[in-house]
Structure 1
Amino acid sequence: MNTAIARSSSRFAQFAQAGALPLVLLAAWQAWAMSLPANSPAPAPLKVVATGVDLIASGGLPNALMQSLGRVALGFLVALTLGVVLGVLMGSIRSVRDNLDPIIESFRPIAPMAILPIAILWFGTGTPSALAIVGYAAFFPVLVNTVHGVSRVDRKLVMAAQTMGIPRTTILTRVVLPGALPSILLGSRLAMGVAWTAIIAAELAVGAKSGGGGSGGIGQMMFVFYAYNIDLNAIVVCMIVVGLVALLIDRIFRAAEGRLLPWRH
């Protein structure tokens, strides 16, 4: 009983310590905002909360968020599939790696937003352009980490399986992929974070290129609030949502990693 109480007190103390600084900063922000003229467009915590409630109640924010999440999920799945397949080939077949590595390393440093003009020219200002940006951004973390994981699988295990006459596909699914799984999961987690960042930037840029009437999503919602409504409180709401979603995505991937790789935790 005493142990449970001590644990609860310790957790409460940790929570209070972690939340003290944010509360102080919010209070200082609110005090600064209250010192400004009543018609000032500067964002304030209370105004941000009220604006967030209105955006949620109207359905605009949830719809935009779901639209962005759908694009991220689809683009990430495409990048994950291509990255894992190509990564396994490059990691296990030296000739494939030697031929493709220079091409991959030539494109990898190019920022996703650098291909936006090409994406718009090829796919227009709708969802396909956003998906192209997301897929491009998420592909390289998955590929590089998959190649790294496959290349580090103990060759003795593969050779032992070959000696016993196990088919190559079985070796791939039972030896190579499980051995490379930690690296693949790490690459997937990094890729999802990059994909979420890329979709926001892509929607912002596509919205600007299309005059606000492009692909939608929370990124374009931010552009509309900036370019047309000049609503800084709404922009802050979108920024908070973007950050919270990124945190939630990271926690989901960490939980999945803990389930699939319990020996590493």
Structure 2
Amino acid sequence: MNTSAIAFRAEPRWRPAARAVTLPLVLLALWQAWAATLPADSPAPAPLRVVHAAVELVTTGGLLSATAQSLGRVVLGFLCALALGVTLGLLMGSSRKVRENLDPIIESFRPVAPMALLPVAILWFGTGTPTALAIVSYAAFFPVVVNTVHGVSRVDRKLVLASLTMGVPRLTILTRVVLPGAAPSILLGARLAMGVAWTAIIAAELAVGAKSGGGGSGGIGQMMFVFYSYNIDLNAIVVCMIVVGVVALLIDRIFRAAETRLLPWRH
């Protein structure tokens, strides 16, 4: 009996992209239609007004400068947290005595929200960049150290014992055996920490509501605070919110790409 072959047709490349933008475009159209019914002097944000505000903020350079200020603080605070978190995580995962002494302290502070420490940080460091760095480092530290300890605990102990048997120094075992074995968990912790750090810097700048000590921009969170407290420009605030979301997405994609490149066997 003859059977007809079913030809497999690959989906055109444009269809996934079209599906991804369809819902946002529909929501934007509904938003603009609703905004058109409002009075002309209404402060409510509207898509066309948001676009106009975005063009103005980009043209003046204020938005890019504020975003760069916040990103600089996040990267520096994240690097501090990464260095300290990975170091302590390796020591805690490799030594039971170190873990028993440090784990209660870390687990006691881990549930404390970074913003809860903001008043103390302001009293100690003022309202400039050092306070922002302290908040970011605190927020990013815990995902790094917890995931590093988890990664070290999953390293095959036979590899460690074999290295000890062959007389390999403990420091070499830590850097050549334990660290590579824990790398997937460390990268996951770093990715989570960077996301938390970006959220923390925006919240800290919003809460502080003051410029950095050098007289420059106080970051995108500071910009949102000014638009809310002084200008009451909701369209500009929406622009800042969009930038915060886009930057967070780009950061996540960068870490995913780095993980794929550094750990190709996991993908």
Q: Considering the TM-score relative to the shorter chain, is it more than 0.5?
A: yes
Amino acid at match of 2:72: G
Q: Which residue of 1 aligns with 2:6?
A: none
Q: Which residue of 2 aligns with 1:176?
A: 178
Distance 1:125 1:194 in 2: 21
Kindly report which structure 2 residues correspond to 1:1-265, keeping only aligned pairs within 5 A, or say none. 10-207=12-209, 216-265=218-267
Cα pair distance change 1:194/1:240, threshold 3 Å: same
Instruction: Tell me, yes or no, if the aligned pair for 1:206 and 1:215 is still in contact at 8 Å.
Output: no
Cα pair distance change 1:244/1:236, threshold 3 Å: same
Aligned identity (percent) is 80
Instruction: Tell me, yes or no, if the aligned pair for 1:126 and 1:215 is still in contact at 8 Å.
Output: no
Distance 1:161 1:226 in 2: 60
The one-character-per-residue Cα deviations of 1:116-144 (angstroms, maximum 9, x if unpaired) are 00000000000000111000000000000
My pick for the range that moved more, 250-259 or 150-159, is: 150-159
Q: CA deviation at 1:214?
A: 9.3
User: 1:10 aligns to what SS in structure 2?
Assistant: coil
Instruction: Tell me, yes or no, if the aligned pair for 1:126 and 1:214 is still in contact at 8 Å.
Output: no
Distance 1:168 1:13 in 2: 55
User: 1:166 aligns to what SS in structure 2?
Assistant: coil
The Cα RMSD (Å) is 1.5
Distance 2:69 2:15 in 1: 39
Instruction: Tell me, yes or no, if the aligned pair for 1:88 and 1:146 is still in contact at 8 Å.
Output: yes
TM-score, normalisation: structure 1:
0.94
Q: CA deviation at 1:10?
A: 2.6
Q: Which residue of 2 aligns with 1:3?
A: none
Unaligned runs of 5+ in 1: 1-5
Q: Which runs of 4+ in 1 moved over 2 A?
A: none
The one-character-per-residue Cα deviations of 1:179-222 (angstroms, maximum 9, x if unpaired) are 00000000000000000000000000011799xx8970000100
Instruction: Tell me, yes or no, if the aligned pair for 2:211 and 2:218 is still in contact at 8 Å.
Output: no
Amino acid at match of 1:55: L
Equivalent residues, number: 257
Distance 1:52 1:201 in 2: 21
Instruction: Tell me, yes or no, if the aligned pair for 1:127 and 1:215 is still in contact at 8 Å.
Output: no
Distance 1:230 1:125 in 2: 23
Q: CA deviation at 1:43?
A: 0.4
